[in-house]
Structure 1
Amino acid sequence: MALNLTIEEIQNFKGKYPKQLWYLFFSEMWERFSFYGMRGMLVIFMVNQLNMNAVNANLQYGATQAFVYAFTFIGGMFADKILGFRKSLFWGGILMIAGSIILALDPHQFFFIGISFTIIGTGFFKPNISTMVGRLYKDDDNRRDAGFSFFYMGVNLGALIGGYLCIAVANGSMLSSIVPEHLRWNVAFGFAAILMVISLLTFIQTQKSLGDIGISPLLAVETSKRKVYEYLTYIGSLAVIPVIILLVSNSGYTDMFMYIIGPCSLLYLLFEMRNFSASENKKLVAALVFVLFSIVFWAFFEQSGGSLSLFAESNLSKTVLGVALDPNGVNNSANSFFVIAFAALVGLVWLWMSKRKIEPNTVVKFGLGFLFLAGGFYVFYYTKFFADANGVTSLDLFTFGWFVITFGELCLSPIGMSAMTKLSPQKVQAVMMGMWFLASAYGQYFAGLLGANIAGASENSTNLEKLIVYADGYKQLAIYALIAGVLLIVISPLVKKLMQEVR
């Protein structure tokens, strides 16, 4: 493939965004449709179709999502060392398509097989497209945060459509006159497969505009030897799928896996750090601070796919501002809707503040993210004061809770991805992006545990009693998020010193 542009030509773009960002925007958008469409169905499918109880479904959800994000670290490592970002992304897309097709054929019989393909595929796909976005900018380009915020809007456009459409079709809230009841789940998983194909085709058509971004790191190696490494990676990723099936289908293995993958990733990073300067290592330590706090953020935020899914199914009304909507569809997509509405605005606010030299540093932005998170969960808690005698409360107020949380996510997640690329030496950028998503894996893991505890406390209760238990649990999460936000703001001067010139 001809490399039509140099990295300098790409990075010296005029205006707010490089044109390549649009291409990656659409590829990521359709991939996130596939991912979030399936994510939003997991707990409800396990409870209503696989007959799991709420506690086990939350644990299984946490385990499944933890493995999804844990493998982004491994995928990032193979991209850095062998495949390059592009081939890694393509291979991951193929595996995700295979997993979605398997689930569409028979989700009841092949659930864990399909999920396992998706886990490996996401590991190869997700960290690498984010890293390519970072490479579109020079290290000192203050437009980077706005670019990641815009990219994150694409993530959420896919999540909005997929998050609502898939669960609504599966529940019969949409297309019920067209899709037979016994095929609703098949069609819902089938949508994920179709849109993943579109994502991959979009990326294939736009590679030539990326210059040398994402090409193989082994171009200097003899071609035959490089091919051997690449084929071994492909074969190895297929060979490990039976192991993933075993691990995912038994959440008891999750604890062991999480005890191992985190320390191993840190040891690997320490091994790489011996080759960097003291200045570079200080920046990596700062990056690890963000990684650790993001674990807490995602443990709370990812209640959306676990306990909040069950809360939405049983305890929420079915209208928003008088419009009839699927409560779980709203739970899955409200956050994405608000990100789409406000991501560009938040990015422009950062640019406006930067020009006036009043933009808060990344640590303070993280702290603000936690404060918004605390506010949103307090709104979830407050829904109990609007419940009727049947334990059904306001979907309007619940949606407002997601509105508040959205600003927390916009302060943390796109800024976090940007920070990983700014603070990491190029040699380990994909690995650090993988560690960022590995933090999400631990967040998902703890989200499952938290959700299981809430669900366990509400077993054998009336619907009203369940609502009170869930709401009180969300109040506790709000308090913990508030503490974390204040702590981050307090330690921001210390972390800022580690970051040096990076803002």
Structure 2
Amino acid sequence: MQTIEEIQNFKGKYPKQLWYLFFSEMWERFSFYGMRGMLYFYMVHHLLMDKETANLQYGATQAWVYAFTFIGGLFADKIFGFRKSLFWGGLLMILGSVILAVNPKTFFFVGVSFTIVGTGFFKPNISSMVGKLYRECDTRTDAGFSLFYAGVNLGALIGGYLCIAIGKNQIFTTLIPNHLKWNVAFGLAAVVMIISLLTFLQTQKSLGEIGLSPLLHLSASKRKLYEWLTYLGSILIVPIIIAMVSNTVYTDYFMYAIGPISIIYLAYEMRGFSVAENKKLIAAVIFMLFSIVFWAFFEQSGGSLSDFAAENLNQTVLGIQLDPNGVNNSANSFFVIAFAALIGMVWLWMAKRKIEPNTIVKFGIAFLFLAGGFWIFYYTKFFADASGKTSLDVFTFGWFIITFGELCLSPIGMSAMTKLSPQKTQAVIMGMWFLASAYGQYFAGILGAGIASASENATNIQKLNTYADGYYQLAIYALIAGVILIIISPLIKKLMQDVK
């Protein structure tokens, strides 16, 4: 078995273990983003929710997905270790997808709830294992996370387009009976999740000591007791999650509480760290707070932009006929795959010449790209025909711009969390990073519901203008946030100390 030091002393740009984690995460993200891309459309067109409720419901569901990563990170740190947590989460995700495949209309919230709990155990821990492949201050870390993020988006690209296109009966129409199209779409998410787990099982030996149980110092019987109590607890919490996601008022209460509780818990943990370590943790929290704003805007993709795509976009990109919802789900992922490695190489090139911007400046640049993309979504209104249909080409170009913002924030953000947090709390900090995403999802639902409410009972051209004007406001707010981040970057750099 390799030691962590031997793994971290790899030659070249990427450790071989990164590729194994890349493929495991790729299939898991196929499953997750395939599911995510179907939720809002299915709620509106098959569960027959009104659009305002569907936006709030979508935001609550996705908020729970990311909020539970904090809990999953906590149990990985204290009981399971990264590997066992990942495997258990994958099993729960498979079960959730199978339940949805059997009868999505009747068991919608049951299947989604199992997926929520499973994602909480899976997602933060595979990212934490990527961070363990690098030594502190290794300049190759950002490039490694960028490549890993390309794997995330390869899965999201395929799953995001295929699942919704199958469900809407846009592809494989002669192979899949019409009455089974949604069953097959949800079932596909289960199949690829099985592939993800098999990939991890076949390659985990290469990880050496990374991700093993933190309780190896205890007796086997005591360790098993803690593990089985965690298994039982994660099953018993599913009915509570069902109640929470099916009634957004309960989600409101949860979101009011979980953020402050997580900050209090972190403050408790900080008592045992040095002043220098605590300064880094404060910097990490600042990153999290700004990331909430970023994801609140970016995650309009699953709610209001999904509705915009279904009703206000034509069906061609560069003359090729494509489903607009599939494009909305997958365009960002396509561009990430195309440019993630290039961005990683740019960071490496700049680091060698000592001109690489620090992480907070990268965050600020991310907001500027986000503002540009939403301004383009606004600008689609000037390409509309009399029926309120506008250019899918222009819309796709908006995602092209936003993608560069995401590449400046998301993979860099994950990397920053691993570099700014002491080893003892890495999984918890990664969980809090995804908890910040949960708040972004939550506020995204509220923003989307507000836009949907404003366009209620309007003609299609009026809806187009209402949505476009809403995106114009988001562009302005994103621009302001980016400027603020760049201005305060020297202060945050002092808190980060030696972390680049």
What is the TM-score normalised by the length of structure 1? 0.99
1:126 maps onto 2:146 in alignment: no
Residue equivalent to 1:146: 143
Residue equivalent to 1:335: 332
Please point out which of 37, 40, 44 is paired with 2:37: 40
1:471 maps onto 2:449 in alignment: no
Q: Residues of 2 paired with 1:239 and 1:403: CA distance?
A: 42
Residue equivalent to 2:105: 108
1:252 CA displacement: 1.4
Q: Residues of 1 paired with 2:426 and 2:144: CA distance?
A: 17
1:223 CA displacement: 1.1
Q: Which amino acid aligns with 1:104?
A: A
1:162 maps onto 2:172 in alignment: no
1:340 CA displacement: 0.1
Q: Which amino acid aligns with 1:361?
A: N
Residue equivalent to 1:288: 285
Residue equivalent to 1:279: 276
Q: Residues of 2 paired with 1:12 and 1:54: CA distance?
A: 53
User: Helix, strand or coil: the match of 1:41?
Assistant: helix
Residue equivalent to 1:501: 498
Q: How does 1:373-384 map to 2 (within 5 A)?
A: 373-384=370-381
1:181 CA displacement: 1.0
Q: Residues of 1 paired with 2:174 and 2:43: CA distance?
A: 24
Q: Deviations over 1:153-201 (max 9, x none)?
A: 0000000000000000011111111111111111000110000000000
Task: Give unpaired runs (5+ residues) of structure 1.
Answer: none
Q: Which amino acid aligns with 1:489?
A: I
User: Helix, strand or coil: the match of 1:218?
Assistant: coil
Please point out which of 258, 263, 288 is paired with 1:261: 258
Q: Residues of 1 paired with 2:347 and 2:189: CA distance?
A: 34
Residue equivalent to 2:420: 423
1:199 maps onto 2:193 in alignment: no
1:244 maps onto 2:241 in alignment: yes
Residue equivalent to 2:169: 172
Q: Residues of 1 paired with 2:280 and 2:249: CA distance?
A: 36
Q: Deviations over 1:211-269 (max 9, x none)?
A: 00000001111111111000000000001111111111111111100011111111110
User: Helix, strand or coil: the match of 1:383?
Assistant: helix
User: Helix, strand or coil: the match of 1:142?
Assistant: coil
Q: Residues of 2 paired with 1:179 and 1:395: CA distance?
A: 27
Q: Residues of 1 paired with 2:480 and 2:172: CA distance?
A: 45
Residue identity (%):
76
Please point out which of 440, 445, 450 is paired with 1:443: 440
Q: Residues of 2 paired with 1:458 and 1:291: CA distance?
A: 32
After TM superposition, the runs of 4+ consecutive aligned structure 1 residues lying more than 2 A away are: none
Q: Which amino acid aligns with 1:228?
A: L
Q: Deviations over 1:107-128 (max 9, x none)?
A: 0000000000000000000000
Q: Residues of 2 paired with 1:44 and 1:182: CA distance?
A: 17
Q: Which amino acid aligns with 1:264?
A: I
Q: Residues of 2 paired with 1:63 and 1:35: CA distance?
A: 16
User: Helix, strand or coil: the match of 1:219?
Assistant: coil
Q: Deviations over 1:43-96 (max 9, x none)?
A: 000000000010000000000000000000000000000000000000000000
Q: Which amino acid aligns with 1:376?
A: G
RMSD: 0.4
Q: Which amino acid aligns with 1:221?
A: L
Q: Which amino acid aligns with 2:223?
A: R
Residue equivalent to 1:190: 187
Q: Residues of 1 paired with 2:499 and 2:475: CA distance?
A: 30
Task: Give unpaired runs (5+ residues) of structure 2.
Answer: none
Q: How does 1:1-12 map to 2 (within 5 A)?
A: 4-12=1-9
Q: Residues of 1 paired with 2:452 and 2:243: CA distance?
A: 25
Residue equivalent to 1:308: 305
Q: Deviations over 1:346-366 (max 9, x none)?
A: 000000000000000000000
1:140 CA displacement: 1.4
Residue equivalent to 1:69: 66
Residue equivalent to 1:49: 46
Q: Residues of 1 paired with 2:360 and 2:224: CA distance?
A: 42
1:391 CA displacement: 0.2
What is the TM-score normalised by the length of structure 2? 1.00
User: Helix, strand or coil: the match of 1:393?
Assistant: coil
Q: Residues of 2 paired with 1:450 and 1:140: CA distance?
A: 38
Q: Residues of 2 paired with 1:281 and 1:354: CA distance?
A: 26
